[in-house]
Structures are given as C-alpha cells and as structure tokens.
Structure 1
Amino acid sequence: MVRAENGFAGLIRLVGRALPGSPSARGLIVVLFSYFFFALHDAMVKVLVARYDAPEILFIRSLTVVVLCLTLGGRGVVTRGLFSPVRGKLLTRAVLTLIAWLLYYSSARYLELPQLITIYFASPLIIAVMAGPMLGEKVTAIRWVALAIGFVGVLLAARPHGASHILPVLCVGAAAVIWAYAMILMRQIASELRGFDQVFVIAVLFLITCGASLPFLWKTPSLPALLLMLSLGIMSTIAQLLLIEGVKLAQASVIAPMEFSGLLWSFVFGYLIFGDIPNADIFLGAGFILLSGGMVVISEIRQGRRNRLLRQSP
C-alpha cells in the first residue's frame, strides 16, 4: 500500500526532473495540473448542485477520498495524520478549508457567478501578502507585478457588477482570506507530512461534519449522480496531492498566480459542459492571466539557470 503512494509521488518527481528550470518552475507546472483537476471538480459539482444539497455531495466525495487514502496510503495515514507533531496546524487547516467551502457555496446562491469569482480570486494576492511575514519568503517585484496583472485579468474576465446583498459579499471575501491562510498552513506542514496524510485528515473532518446533516437533507441519488459524486472524490484526491507536491517545490507566493489558471479552465469547462460562450472581455482577461503566469514561470526558469551557473563557477 505504501508503495502505491510512493509510486505516485515518484512519478511526480520523475516528471518534475524532466522539466526545465528551477525547483520552483517545476513546482509551477505541477500546480497547473492541480488547478486543472480542481476546475474539473468544480464543474462536476455545478452539475450536481442543481438537484442535490452540497453537504450530501461533499459527504460522498469525502467518503471516496477516505477510502482512496486508506487503500493507497495504508493504515499509517491515520496515525501519521492524527499524531503528527504538526497535527495542530493540520487540523486547523482542515477546519479552515471546510469553513471556506461552506462560505463560498452558500454565497453562490445569492451572487452572480462573475461577482463570486472576482471576489474569491483575491486569495492569491492575500497569499502573496501573507507569505512574507508568515513564511519568511521574499516576494520579488516581478511576482507582485505578475499578481497585479493576473488580478486585472480576473476583473476583465468576470466583469463584476454591484452586489445586491452585502452579507454574501462579505462571506466570499472571508472565504478568500481563510483559503489564503489555509494555503500558508499547507506550505508550513508540507515538508513534515505526506500528501495522503493531509488529505485523509481533511476528508475525515468533512465526512463527520457533513454526515451529521444528512438526516435532514438526504436525497437518494440516481446511479449516474452517484457515480459522478464518487468521481468527485477521485478528482479531489488527484488535485490535492498534485497541489501538495507543487507546494513542496515552489514558494507559496510563486504558486499564487497559478491559481488564476483555474479561472481559465472554468471557462473551458463552462463551454464544453454548459454551452457558455465567453465574450471578448473574457478572452482579454484570459490573456492577462496567461501573461501573469508566464511572467512567473519564465522568471523562475531564468533564476534556475543563473543558480546553476553560480554553482558551476569556481
């Protein structure tokens, strides 16, 4: 069982070594794949929430994640996760992730999607701000410029309008802050705890919390809906493990602009699944977002080359 986890992590490292540039640049590529799966996960959720309540969907999703972690990671995920020296931070991250999820999807009932996305995508900027004092990372000028360009792209693509309800706006803003802090915690514990251990503990908390609400809102899913809910667990596990591996390679403030790529994937899946056709503003915003990520990737590749030259010099 442990070999399965090592095989997954080994595959990620093997692919990472084949990529050019510094460890940060390789971490960025892994994170890009992570946000692809996150976007696919969200598109599947959007299909399901039309008929089923979010806690029920999250319960079945989390049950799948727990089974996957126990199957691939072995029983050790329980002891390592719950008795780790960093279990306090891990449990804090799990609680914060759950709160952010509930705030985000509760607000989705009252806000238009562009408003929701625009407010929530402030989280990469918040991560960059937090990374300096909390992680001791040096946020370079190029990263600040890339983040600013990326956020301008989000504004253009989402075309936000005035919110009709102040409370949902505040809830989404709080979710962005909470998610940003959860990402900082992920960075702090990534080197101390394996990916399966982190994902397992978070899924167990989700399972218990959402399970408590099932007697009040359970609706027996159809077979296609059940299969889709189970698929959510697989998508979520892949996305989280890729993100954790990427965080081990790159600094949080470097990874932050890559979160904007999730918006691009949401447009792609919106068209393929729901037939939504992006307008000119969205394409322009997408260009800014791609420019943002490209600036960071190119900067990191160049920095990696300079570091190698310095190590090789006498």
Structure 2
Amino acid sequence: MKNESSAKPEQLDRPALGIMLRILSGALFAAMAVFVKAVSADVPVGQIVFFRSAFALAPLVCFLWIRGEFPGGLATRRPLDHLLRSALGAAAMFASFASIARLPLAEATLLGYLSPVFTAIAGVLILSERATVWRIAGVILGTLGIVALVWPELGQATVDDTRLAGFGFGLPMGLLTAFALIMVRSLSRTESPGAIAFYFVVASMIGGIATLPFGWAAPSLSQLLCLVGAGIFGGFAHICMTLAFRYTEASRLAPFEYLAILWPILADLVLFGQPLTHPFLLALPLVLSGAAVAALEAKRRASPSKSKAP
C-alpha cells in the first residue's frame, strides 16, 4: 500500500522494531484465531464476527485518537469505495471463521496464503495487467498446493463433508481477501489507513449483528471471554501490523508474514491435539512458495516506480 511504502524517515530508521511488531502481529492474529476456534462449535459464525469486530473497535479508536486521526481522519470523498472494500473484507471474515470452524487451524490459515495468488490472477483478468512468468509460476504452485491438500479427501471412499465444507469456505476467503486488498491499494492513494480499518470494522459489526434473527447462542462465561479475547487480540494485531509498516519497508517485512504460519501449527499440536497430516505437509511448501513468488513479482513491479520517485 502507498502509505506503507512512502518515504518517511521513521520507516527506515527502526527496521528491528518494525520486524518485531510484524512478528507480534502474527502471534496476536493467531491468538485471535485460537479464540475463534475454541467457540466455533457452539457459537454461530455471525455472532463471532460481531464480537470480534465490536471489541476490536475500542483499541482501534484509541490508537487513531492518539495519532490524531479520530474523528477528523475518518472524513472521506470515496464512501462507495469504502463500502465495497468493507463488504469484501467482512465477507472474507465470515468465510475465514466458517473455515476455521471446520478445519484444523493450520489448514484454514494456509488457505489464507492463497490471497497473493488470487491477487495476481485478478490483476490480469480485471486490471488487464501482464501475465508474467512470476505470476504464472505463483498460480501453478498455489494450485498444486490446494490439489495436494484437497485431493486425498476426494479420493476416500467416505467423503468428510465437514472438511470439504471447510475447504469450500477457505478458498472463497482467499479470493475475497485478494479483492479486498486490491481495494485497499486503491483507497490508500487518497485515504488514511485508519479510515480504511475503521470502516471495515464497522461494516463487519453490522454484518455480524444482521445474523441475529437467525439465532445467536447464549455463551457461557468462558465462551464470552473467548469472544471478547478474539476482538481485543484482533484489534491489537491490526495496530501492531500498522505500526510495523510505519517503521519498516514492506519489502523487509514480507518474509516474516510467512513465519506467522508457525503459530497455528503450534496451536493445533499443543492446544487442540490435532497432528499435522501428510497432505498438509505436502501442501505447505507449495502454497507458501506460490504466495512468495506472487509477492516477489509485485515487489519487482513496484521497484522501478520507487526509483523514479522524487
């Protein structure tokens, strides 16, 4: 995003702090996912989305107020673009939580790494960008990874409908995230990151509470604490990620985004007692390689424009 890579001195002066914040944000997002997973068997997805968004709003508003961006920084000349980006992001959150409810946390998280691959495809089909070798390689690797993950399920005599539904939600989640990121890139040219995040959280809250007529659960105390924890950890994770891009160039932080997959793996092994499957171990390097190649191609395209900047 433009705001993440603009030439502010503090972005370049504290790379160690930026890297630490990016790693911390990955751990906090993983903790959020753990809370979501813990209640997903008993609490409807829409209710989880509402709590995750509502309790993320408090730390986000405090952060924006400290930076002097609330409420003045929320003014916008592009309300319809915010609405589209927020709707895509909210739909991605619904799909992500539905996938987490049906799959091991590591597998559901891995599907999210397909978003750079989908972004590359969308760039070619929607934005008429050139289909480079890098993009084609990223798409092939990502596709092979998904085949490796899903094919064993299809090859069994008895198909696990729950897992297939988890994959069915996880793949659109990656696609919706890709479209949301394209909108974020567009909005970042004129809008502040705080405004983009704020309207997304509000839209997710509205989407979550709209599911109330379909039935919400009466959570126990432990479930309520998990729902609140999902929101608070998710809110602070977003703040840490925003600050990471403030102190360090996006290109330096890119490798640490793939480190975040370690936290869901550890959560599956230690907290949920779910061993890593052979299909997952085969799909892991393929999907991450495809995402890395797609991200590297985007970095190569961005480099010339940076060098020409005044």
Q: Deviations over 1:74-133 (max 9, x none)?
A: 29545543x312332121111122223334545677x66699778765433211122356
Could you tell me how far apart the structure 2 residues matched to 1:198 and 1:300 are? Answer: 22
TM-score relative to the length of structure 2 = 0.67
CA distance in 2, matches of 1:19, 1:103: 34
Indicate yes or no: 2:189 matched with 1:198: no
Q: Distance in 1 between matches of 2:257 and 2:192?
A: 22
2:121–2:139 Cα contact (<8 Å) kept: no
Contact 2:113/2:291 (8 A) holds in 1: no
Q: Contact (CA 8 Å) 2:114, 2:174: kept in 1 or not?
A: yes
Distance 1:154 1:39, change over 3 A: farther
The Cα shift of 1:70 comes to 2.2
**Given that residues 77 and 200 in structure 1 are in contact (C-alpha distance below 8 angstroms), is that contact kept between their aligned partners in structure 2?**
no
Q: Which residue of 2 aligns with 1:99?
A: 91
Aligned to 1:46: 37
Matches within 5 A, 1:1-314: 14=10, 17-19=13-15, 34-74=25-65, 76-78=69-71, 80-81=73-74, 83-106=75-98, 122-132=114-124, 141-142=133-134, 144-146=136-138, 148-156=140-148, 160-162=152-154, 173-214=171-212, 217-241=215-239, 250=250, 263-289=261-287, 291=289
The one-letter code matched in structure 2 to 1:89 is D
**1:15-71 deviation digits (Å, cap 9, x = unpaired):** 764449xxxxx9999767655443332222010112222222222222212222222
TM-score by length of 1: 0.67
Distance 1:224 1:123 in 2: 33
Deviation of the 1:172 alpha carbon: 5.1
Q: Which amino acid aligns with 2:196?
A: Q
Cα pair 1:195 1:245 within 8 Å, conserved: no
Residue-by-residue CA offset, 1:211-244 (whole Å, 9 max, x unaligned):
3444663444333333322221232224434556
- Give the Cα–Cα distance (whole angstroms) in 2 for the partners of residues 88 and 241 of structure 1: 25
Residues in 2 aligned to 1:103 and 1:202: alpha-carbon distance in whole angstroms = 15
Counterparts of 1:137 and 1:274 in 2: how far apart (Å)? 43
Aligned-pair distance for 1:185?
0.5
8 Å CA contact retained: 1:124, 1:259: no
Alignment correspondent of 2:5: none
Output the CA distance in 1 between the equivalents of 2:240 and 2:146. 24
Aligned amino acid, residue 77 of structure 2:
P
Q: Distance in 2 between matches of 1:242 and 1:232?
A: 15
* Secondary structure, counterpart of 1:193 in structure 2: coil
Greater RCO (Cα-Cα under 8 Å, separation 6 or more): 2
Counting aligned pairs with the same residue, the percent is 20
Deviation at 1:184, TM superposition (A): 0.6
One-letter amino acid of the structure 1 residue matched with residue 224 of structure 2? L
Hey, which bits of structure 1, 4+ residues long, moved more than 6 A? 26-32, 114-120, 135-139, 245-248, 257-260, 293-308
CA RMSD of aligned residues (A): 4.9
Whole-Å separation in 2 of the counterparts to 1:294 and 1:72: 31
* Rounded Cα–Cα distance in structure 2 between residues aligned with 1:30 and 1:16: 14
Cα displacement string for residues 256-302 of structure 1 (whole angstroms, at most 9, x for unaligned residues): x9876665543222112101121444334434455556667889999
Q: Distance in 2 between matches of 1:204 and 1:72?
A: 16
Amino acid in structure 1 at the alignment position of 2:78: V
- DSSP-derived class of the 2:77 partner: coil
Structure-2 separation of matches of 1:117 and 1:160: 19
Instruction: Could you tell me which runs of 5 or more consecutive residues in structure 2 were left unpaired when the two chains were aligned.
Output: 1-7
Helix, strand or coil for the counterpart of 2:153? coil
Write the letter of the residue equivalent to 1:45.
Answer: V
